[in-house]
Amino acid sequence: MSKSFVVTIGGRKKKIDLTESDKATIDKKQVEYELLKINFQNYLLRINNYFYEVCIDKIDKEKYSLFVNGKKLEIITRTELQERAAKLINEAKSSANQKVEIRAPMPGLILKIKKNVGETIDQGESILILEAMKMENDLKAPVTGIIKELSVTEGNTVEKGEKLFSIE
C-alpha cells in the first residue's frame, strides 16, 4: 500500500510516495531506498547507491531535527491531507489579518456614521448611511473585524470610488 507525504526542508516542499518496501517516488522521480535502524535515533539510509547517516530527533508531531552526514536540517513531515489542511488554515489566518477598504459605490452625502474607529463590527452590520439621488443607502461591513479608519465625517460629500472606511 502506498503512503504519501509532503516533507518541507528549508522551506522547499518535496512530495514523497513510498510505493513498495524498497521503492519510493520523490517529486515524480523513482528511487530505491533502504532504511536500517542502528539504535534509538540513528539510521543508515540508502537512496539508490548513496548512503546517508541520519540521526533523528522528534520536536513535535510534524517537526523533526535531522543530522544527515553531520549536517543539521529542520524538516516538517505531513500527510497530503495534513498539508492541505495547514495551507487552508494559513490562508484563513492571513486573510483574517488583511485590511479591507470600503469605497463609495456612488457619489453622495454622508448622512450618518454608526460606528467609530476601534469598534468591532460583524459582517453585514451597518456602518454608515450614504444619501445618493434622494435615497438613503445603508452601507454594511463586508467582513467581520475592527474599524481601523474612517475617512469621512457626517455631512461630507463623496465621489464614486472615494475611500470611506477600512476594516482589519
The domain ranges of the chain are: 3-96, 100-167
Q: CATH number of the domain at 3-96, out of 3.30.700.30, 1.10.3720.10, 1.10.287.1060, 3.20.20.70?
A: 3.30.700.30
pLDDT tens for each residue of 61-117: 889 999 998 899 999 999 888 888 888 777 766 555 678 888 998 999 999 999 999
pLDDT tens for each residue of 141-166: 888 888 999 999 999 999 999 999 99
Annotate the chain with DSSP letters as a single string. --EEEEEEETTEEEEEEE-SSSEEEETTEEEEEEEEE-SSSEEEEEETTEEEEEEEEE-SSSEEEEEETTEEEEEEEEEHHHHHHHHHHHHHHHHHT--EEEE-SSSEEEEEE---TT-EE-TT-EEEEEEETTEEEEEE-SS-EEEEEE---TT-EE-TT-EEEEE-
pLDDT of residue 1: 61
- Once rounded to an integer, what is the mean pLDDT over residues 49-72? 92
Do 3-96 and 100-167 come out as alike in CATH topology? no
Portion of the chain with pLDDT greater than 90, in percent: 55
- Once rounded to an integer, what is the mean pLDDT over residues 11-30? 90
Domain 100-167, what architecture? Beta Barrel (2.40)
